[in-house]
Structure 1
Amino acid sequence: MKFITLFTLAAGLALVTGCRPHTHNNAEDEQGHGHAHDKGAAAAEEKTAQITVWSDRYEVFAEHKAPVAGTKTTFITHVTDLQTLKPRDEGPVKFVLTHGNDVPIEHLQAGPARAGIYLPAITFPKAGDWKVELLVAGASVDLGMIEVYPDKKAALQAEFAEPAEGITFLKEQQWKILTRTERAENRVVIEHARLPATVTPKPGSMASVVAPVSGRLILPPNKPLPLPGQKVAAGELLVLLQPTFSEQAARLLEAEAEAIRAKGALDQAKLVLERTKRLAASEAKSNREVQEAEFALASAQAQFEAATALQATYKKLSPGSEESGKRLDLSSIELRSPMEGVISQVGSNLGAPVTPETVLFTILNAETVWLEARLPENRLVSGKPTGTFQTGREGASIPAEFVYLGMQIDASTRTAPIMFEAANTNGALRIGQTVQLFVATAEQTKGVAIPISAIVEEEGRSVAFVQLSGETFAKRDLTLGVSGGGYVQVLEGVTEGERVVSKGAYAIRLASVSSVIPAHGHAH
């Protein structure tokens, strides 16, 4: 499609207007909105001017015929909220028209004809150059100067500059995928190494519940089987394990026998030490023999403590307890969550036989995760490096906190392990997921830069899509410099102030290679 550039605004606003042949239907001006692409029919019609303006909050894309004084002119006005990337689907807008030093004229449009599209029929009372301003929810958008012609004949003879060729991507298509554009600006870029990183659990944030003995799982009274995704608290009862009775009893008896043997050995070691000390006092034993007796006592004490701890563990595995005066009940063992988190895996079914060391539940607390990557030897940095990461092709750059840079270089890959910590907001990161990690290096430079998310790889080349007008884009081959902090320096291909597509670029690339004309258009 062709567009004609009529004027440009400075001071932070990029303003492009143009024209292209359209079919116009006055009745549909008040009711509908579509794009007609019949070039033969359009050639006999009036030219249609187009205005595209970006403010801090809104993008306004307006289409209109050459206005004639005293005659209503419909301005097909598309309003996009640059914060939500959605069309403005409710609320009034006001057009303020100023001619020289005359009192401004206001035209209030109560609401959009359909989402994002307002259809005001504006009457300019006299010919000349009119300054047009659009007020949207208190924000002012300058639409620039519009020439109003004295009669229809003059309007039909209006001259426009040659339009620019580009890729058509309609507003309705842009709204559907929430397309975002950003200005190419001069900025300082600190070079970052771009590394594939794996999301891993933070140490201490994942635990397994294993079967201590063979048996089968049964449910506690009035409690369902825990399922994946269920939140659990530290110490919460999960299931009961009904052990093979003979095995559990044998293990408990063995623990009790070992505790008795250890107690006897400890008492014997105490007696030997006392006797050795008495004999040493009368010089019947040497100091070395006293030290050996002391060492034997310490060993016996350690063995006794270990044996009694094991004995106590087996006793506590049962809901019954000798401490409460009840006989020890070996019919079931309580299995509890060792930490707060979410159940990520369930390893057995109710009633199924399990063997010792079978992992029954995996508990994960993924509120904070680690990002593990390998940093090339030639990109090693001194001090504490900074980092960000992205989760997708067009994801936002999210800060990560440095944890550790390995002290050893792998001989085969010439890389060192590097780890960052990241908050897992809303659980968006999954363990094992691959993300793009950007690690800052020492080199920095200043120049025109665009978001990394605006870069599209095409047949080994880096390209970006520049928005020329509301519905027209141009593909640019790029020569890139250093990258970092979510931005990449552009040495050639994009100039300062141009707007590049930072979200939705891949969809526009598909549109650029498609031979299909968009399914609808603006029939006014």
Structure 2
Amino acid sequence: MVRPSGALALLALLVCAGCKGRPSGTEEGDKPDVVVLVRTARVERQTVRELVEAAGTVVPSLGTEAQVAAQVAGTVVAVLKDEGQEVATGEPVLEIDASVLREEARQAEAEVRRAEADERLTREKLERAKSLFARGIAAAKDVAEAEATHTGALQALGRARAGDQVAQIHERRSVVRSPVQGTVLHRLVAPGQYVQPDTILFSVAPMAHLDLSATVPASELARLRVGQEAEIDCPGPDAASPRGEVKLLAPVLDPASGTATVRVTITNEARTLRPGMFCRARIVADRHDSTLAVPVSAVTFKEAEQKGTVAVVDGGVASVKEVTTGIREGNRVEILDGLEEGDRVVSEGSYGLADGTKLRFQ
């Protein structure tokens, strides 16, 4: 027979044996705490810009390209400038055979001399007729006829002088001169070619300022204004990143592509840009200086674009807060409300992070 005291001791041993399978303080069904590995970033004041992307071709500035045309007919005898060369205003760029024009000018000068001689002769006759009429020797009819003859001679002299001026101008125009200072973009003729008046010979444009003729989606047009700054990126071995300014917004859209044309003027003092180059522009549609910003990856955006949540580090655990966002630039987003400068937020690993989750930092 087992004594009562021995039975109690045996029962205690059995209870203790049953407790060895569970850690002290852990009840059956409990799970260990989850710790998430994350990266973090500080909420800082930065400059955030809203950019509109555009792409297009470099062209001469609006209204600066000059088409140099022949003003007289003839055979090209000399081409004095070629593509890529600089020209000054009034500098000769081409010569047209002037032999016929010189002969016409010589004949016009001779015609002026004949007309001047006729005018002198008729003037002398008129003066003599007036003198004879005053002495009662000539009739009034003789004076009238002399006046008419002299008037005709004066008119003929005027026509001869006008013809001489035209002939001299035509002779001078056999030497074609650039109307503007700039660079020869295109040469369209060669020596020996016969040209007519208005035949285009060259195109010349200044290179110190050029335009980027770019297109943007119609949906972006409302954000653009004349005068906005732009950053230009032109890929290639002579890559350049000059700055520009929006000069013109097209008043109509292209219905086929749903795009609009934007003209951005570019300062090209270094002559690194050339018409025909393909470039991209980042137009600064808006700019907020000294504004709170975080990495875009730190924000879990809601359906409304300006709302989201951010996991703030609070004593080693995640504290999920709602935020109101503003403009974005690259991987940065402006925070309008919900965070304070200096807050530490989860920048990587925040998706699906629950409030109160323990964190471990990389």
Please report the TM-score for the alignment, with normalisation by the length of structure 1.
0.34
Greater relative contact order (Cα < 8 A, sep 6+): 2
